[in-house]
Structure 1
Amino acid sequence: MSFTGISANRQELLQIADAVAREKQIDKSVVLASIEEAVQKAARSRYGADHDIRVRVDPRTGEMTITRYVTVVPDEELENEYAQRGLTEALREDKDAFVGKTYDEVLPPFELGRVQSQMARQVVTHKVREAERERQYDEFKDRVGEIVNGTVKRVEYGNVIVDLGRGEGIMRRDQSIPREAFQVNDRIRAYIYDVRRETKGPQIMLSRAHGGFMAKLFAQEVPEVYDGVIEIKSVARDPGSRAKMAVLSNDNSIDPVGACVGMRGSRVQAVVGELQGEKIDIIQWSPDEATFIVNALAPAEVSKVVLDEEEDRVEVVVPDEQLSLAIGRRGQNVRLASQLTGWQVDIITESQDSERRQKEFAERTALFQEALDADEVIAQLLVTEGFSTVEDLAYVDQMEIAAIEGFDEDTAAELQARARDYLERFEAEQNAKRVELGVEDEVLNVPGITLAMAVALGEAGVKTVEDLADLATDEVRGGFEQRGAEKVRVPGALESFSLSVADAEALILNARIAAGWIEAPEPEEAYEESEESYEEEGANDAIPEQ
């Protein structure tokens, strides 16, 4: 665009604006506004930066008007004599003058010098580029989650730059399918997973490794998915190797797995072909977490599932011969199942589970033998009936013990008496240990802290109320810490007590109140807080983290 003389042919100016608007796919008014700003800067450079000069281009005729404005201000606010006039001086020349009144003067057209012309070109180029970027962002920000077709423009260090017609996208190396190579001018299909507004322009982030890409491919191949009859609940992928997809049918007459596979596998094969031979396991989604996890571990068979909702972990027991199949090559099967369900999956064999149960049975039997001074048969009977601790036995209804085959009321009374004697001796020993560890008496006064907990805290170096108040939730109950690609278990001071998050938070809160760090909440506030905590906990239980 030439700016040698701004008195150039008016129609030529409009034609240039039209051409730029069409080429950059932006509104013509944006181009004209950028020309106005460019000439305005050039005019201020010519007449002085202090002048209030404004430029207007008529969008119908192309006529350009350069106008200088002077505004009337109170005498005490006069700061710029070129763009302002004091009220007293203005009244001398115009008796109708008032604060805020403006006087304008149309300036004659002028030829731009080399520097002014270059500056004008830069302003227009910058404004047009900004408008083009804004147009691209507005167009693509609502297309996140769509599949787009494009042409490979260039490849830089493994990152593929894709021409999308009305924009340019980037597919980073980690978002492409391994061993998949693209050349310039290759046609490519990709998934928009993010659109970011950045200083260098909108970044349209593309992916062929994203789970959403596979889901959208199925929506294109399976009419029932496109129509919403079949819902894709979650997807887990090891790009280029294997994937798992959970599906649900909203129509009982339609089998979601069969519909996605298609006649003789035609539908799934079309997706597999686009994903460079990636093997896809399509499984039935279930609202029951245990059933869903069992389905997700297919083709391995599962004997038993034990859920730990607090930790979002699940222990899965499989037959010994199914262990390698359940884990998969390099842990692929269990890793994908974990991603698909949102649960951390731990797999053990039936023999390992049996050994563990036998060990627990033996430990509990030995505990009852020692605590009650009873023979092995009686101890085993108690364990078999579900008693796991001496406390269970000491404070249960006596008739429950008497109802055990071979026991009577006298036996039950004697066992409970022995259990209570043992607990009293144990409590005295624990208290002595607490004192020896240096745990202060005030710690026992914190609501929720038991004697056994006080001993455990002392062993962890927590000896005062202030020490307890200074702990974080994970330091109390244990948790997981991300170290590189792995989650590592971090032990907690009271980990053996299996406290919930709410219980641990309550202990810390009570300790901080006892230490005088904070004031105890009013009863109503405490009630509202517990309700919110319950709702959040319920929501987290209902929707496992993906």
Structure 2
Amino acid sequence: MAITSANQLELLQTAEAVAREKMIDPVLVIEAMEESLARAAKSRYGAEMDIRVAIDRKTGRATFTRVRTVVEDEELENYQSEFTVEQAKQYMADPEVGQEFIEEVPPVEMGRIAAQSAKQVILQKVREAERDKQFEEFKDRIGTIINCVVKREEYGNVIVDMNPGEGILRRNEKIGRESYRPNDRIRVFIKDVRREQRGPQIFLSRTAPEFMAELFKMEVPEIYDGIIDIKAVARDPGSRAKIAVISYDGSIDPVGACVGMRGSRVQAVVNELQGEKIDIIPWNDDQPTFLVNALQPAEVSKVVLDEEAGKIEVVVPEEQLSLAIGRRGQNVRLASQLTGLDIDIMTEAEESARRQKEFELRTKLFMDNLDLDEFFAQLLVAEGFTNLEEVAYVEVDELLVIDGVDEGTAGELQARARDVIEAQNKAALDAARALGVEDSLVEFDGLTPQMIEALAKDDVKTLEDFATCADWELAGGWTTEKGERVKDDGVLEPFGVDLEEAQAMIMIARVSLGWVDPAELEAMAEDDEDGEATSEETEA
């Protein structure tokens, strides 16, 4: 095939037809044609030549040109596409390095093989353009719901027609035991779009909490308008879900608006989710209050929140225990996901027994270490003393409020407590040194002998070992595995060391070892303060 005047316009007509069929930019098709013709020309003139083809967008005329670049003498490698300044003087007036000399060459005759190769190049470029178009179209639709048609099912995964392209609804993203037949229309949530070698992969879901949130946004105009906001969602797909909502208009009840007249709005969502039961809960910024709402329909007697550990204890009447926990722990699990807290549920009797046990343990602590009788030890516990350090270093006046305690008795109590603490400290240090702890760690400020012993047992025996620790290794923390919060125990957690304190101690150790420049720390601290100040000004 030769590029003659007879078929010049056919190039443009072909490009227009392909672009219209594939719904892509005609320019992309023409560029693919230019590349394919250039390849064919290289096979005729030589692969080392820099042959370029330009197709006129109006006439369809294809112009073949050979390009040679001016390079330094020592950089000359390809004699077909490069030449030196001296060589270039034959063709150019004042050649400079980097300049290009372009000369037109005759069009090529395309044989059967060259034509087939050109066709493959064009098809490949068109496929790439289609994939790019599909990726660009769907990447901005992540987090939205679309309607699509089922094409087929493969190994439990459902392939759907997205028009254009295909999406995949994986087995674990289907509700319960949903099954679909070809041509069934389904509503799905676009969870993720990834650009892969074989084309964009669109991952869909019907189990994502966001799917239910988007369904409510479609059914409840107040949510769509921003009057009501969905603050949190927790789901056990196909079985039960909890959704927390808040209203920014005092005249609108968020729960009532989501339920709708005679339950019409929530029922539409329930029907889409295969009968999934939905608890609509009013959001509250106060976590204990919000948790009480989240555990509905169970009644809660008392809530004890430990903010540092992200843990909360809930006390319920005996007859409410099974309702609060729910079938197979479903109710408390969903409440935990909704609030982001680790929840311990106990009955009033269990809480009373636990408090009694704590009282007895503290009483025994004071009896054994301070040589007190049971009644006097109970008085200390009743006044809120929990350990020997509190007795040893508290202001004397706080001991004098206890019945029967005068200044002499208070002084004796504190002296005994200090003696015991000193003995315990000595024993802990001796044990740590026996394990191989070095003085660099013993002399580090902020670590008690008991902490040093605990570190030694965890094979942290030098200041260098301590400086390489992560904050969570010392203070503990929480991680989420498969939707469940898992506790990571810290070496110094039993001594009340939190993450912030752990970070500070580790950084001080690194500075003292010369690993970190104190000036950099000060600069970082100033930047943080400036950032916080800017944030506060913005909020104001």
* TM-score computed with the length of structure 1 as normaliser: 0.88
Provide closer, same or farther for how the CA distance between residues 77 and 522 of structure 1 changes in structure 2, counting only shifts above 3 A. closer
Q: Is the 8 A contact 2:229 2:246 kept in 1?
A: yes
Match of 2:521 in 1: 525
Provide closer, same or farther for how the CA distance between residues 126 and 379 of structure 1 changes in structure 2, counting only shifts above 3 A. same
Deviation at 1:106, TM superposition (A): 4.0
Q: Is the 8 A contact 1:390 1:423 kept in 2?
A: yes
Provide closer, same or farther for how the CA distance between residues 47 and 439 of structure 1 changes in structure 2, counting only shifts above 3 A. closer
Matches within 5 A, 1:274-423: 274-423=272-421
Determine the C-alpha separation between the residues in 1 that align with 2:197 and 2:83: 40
2:24 partner SS = coil
Match of 2:123 in 1: 125
Q: Is the 8 A contact 1:305 1:317 kept in 2?
A: yes
Determine the C-alpha separation between the residues in 1 that align with 2:294 and 2:527: 34
Determine the C-alpha separation between the residues in 1 that align with 2:239 and 2:477: 32
Identity of counterpart residues, as a percentage?
A: 56
One-letter amino acid matched to 2:278: I
Provide closer, same or farther for how the CA distance between residues 10 and 451 of structure 1 changes in structure 2, counting only shifts above 3 A. same
Equivalent of 2:157, from 140, 156, 159?
159
Deviation at 1:225, TM superposition (A): 0.5
Match of 2:47 in 1: 49
Match of 1:107 in 2: 106
Alpha-carbon RMSD across the aligned residues, in angstroms, is 3.0
2:457 corresponds to 1:497: no
Specify every segment of 5 or more residues in structure 1 that has no aligned partner in the other structure, as ranges: 540-546
Deviates more, 1:474-483 or 1:204-213: 474-483
2:108 corresponds to 1:96: no
Match of 1:543 in 2: none
Matches within 5 A, 1:386-535: 386-434=384-432, 439-479=437-477, 489-511=487-509, 516=513, 518-519=514-515, 521-522=517-518, 525=521, 528-529=524-525, 532=528
Determine the C-alpha separation between the residues in 1 that align with 2:86 and 2:517: 65
Provide, for residues 153-187 of structure 1, a one-character-per-residue CA deviation record: whole Å limited to 9, x for no partner: 22211212221223322211111112111111111
Provide closer, same or farther for how the CA distance between residues 533 and 309 of structure 1 changes in structure 2, counting only shifts above 3 A. farther
1:9 partner SS = helix
Provide, for residues 191-244 of structure 1, a one-character-per-residue CA deviation record: whole Å limited to 9, x for no partner: 112111111111122111111111111111100001000001111111111111
Deviation at 1:15, TM superposition (A): 2.3
Deviation at 1:82, TM superposition (A): 3.5
Deviates more, 1:299-308 or 1:233-242: 299-308
Deviation at 1:27, TM superposition (A): 0.4
Provide closer, same or farther for how the CA distance between residues 442 and 104 of structure 1 changes in structure 2, counting only shifts above 3 A. closer
Provide, for residues 67-121 of structure 1, a one-character-per-residue CA deviation record: whole Å limited to 9, x for no partner: 33445556665544444455445545x57363435241241452x2121111101
One-letter amino acid matched to 2:246: L
Provide closer, same or farther for how the CA distance between residues 69 and 307 of structure 1 changes in structure 2, counting only shifts above 3 A. same
Deviation at 1:440, TM superposition (A): 4.5
Q: Is the 8 A contact 1:449 1:507 kept in 2?
A: no
Equivalent of 1:23, from 21, 24, 28?
21
2:197 partner SS = coil
Q: Is the 8 A contact 1:55 1:66 kept in 2?
A: yes
Specify every segment of 5 or more residues in structure 2 that has no aligned partner in the other structure, as ranges: 536-540
Provide closer, same or farther for how the CA distance between residues 434 and 82 of structure 1 changes in structure 2, counting only shifts above 3 A. closer
Q: Is the 8 A contact 1:502 1:533 kept in 2?
A: no
Determine the C-alpha separation between the residues in 1 that align with 2:447 and 2:256: 56
Provide closer, same or farther for how the CA distance between residues 364 and 526 of structure 1 changes in structure 2, counting only shifts above 3 A. farther
Provide closer, same or farther for how the CA distance between residues 489 and 48 of structure 1 changes in structure 2, counting only shifts above 3 A. same
Q: Is the 8 A contact 2:510 2:516 kept in 1?
A: no
Deviation at 1:435, TM superposition (A): 5.1
Deviation at 1:529, TM superposition (A): 4.6
Determine the C-alpha separation between the residues in 2 that align with 1:534 and 1:80: 57
Provide, for residues 121-142 of structure 1, a one-character-per-residue CA deviation record: whole Å limited to 9, x for no partner: 1100110111111111111111
Q: Is the 8 A contact 2:190 2:205 kept in 1?
A: yes
Provide closer, same or farther for how the CA distance between residues 75 and 510 of structure 1 changes in structure 2, counting only shifts above 3 A. closer
Provide, for residues 517-536 of structure 1, a one-character-per-residue CA deviation record: whole Å limited to 9, x for no partner: x3575378358559959999
Deviation at 1:442, TM superposition (A): 4.3
Provide closer, same or farther for how the CA distance between residues 69 and 444 of structure 1 changes in structure 2, counting only shifts above 3 A. closer
Provide closer, same or farther for how the CA distance between residues 372 and 11 of structure 1 changes in structure 2, counting only shifts above 3 A. same
Determine the C-alpha separation between the residues in 1 that align with 2:351 and 2:519: 46
1:177 partner SS = coil
Provide closer, same or farther for how the CA distance between residues 444 and 72 of structure 1 changes in structure 2, counting only shifts above 3 A. closer
Deviates more, 1:224-233 or 1:385-394: 385-394
One-letter amino acid matched to 1:197: R
Q: Is the 8 A contact 1:447 1:510 kept in 2?
A: no
Determine the C-alpha separation between the residues in 1 that align with 2:481 and 2:209: 25
1:148 partner SS = strand
1:107 partner SS = coil
Q: Is the 8 A contact 1:446 1:510 kept in 2?
A: no
Provide, for residues 332-356 of structure 1, a one-character-per-residue CA deviation record: whole Å limited to 9, x for no partner: 1122112212222222222222111
Equivalent of 2:196, from 195, 198, 203?
198
* TM-score computed with the length of structure 2 as normaliser: 0.89
Provide, for residues 12-57 of structure 1, a one-character-per-residue CA deviation record: whole Å limited to 9, x for no partner: 3322211211111100111111111111111111221123322222
Determine the C-alpha separation between the residues in 2 that align with 1:102 and 1:527: 55
Match of 2:538 in 1: none
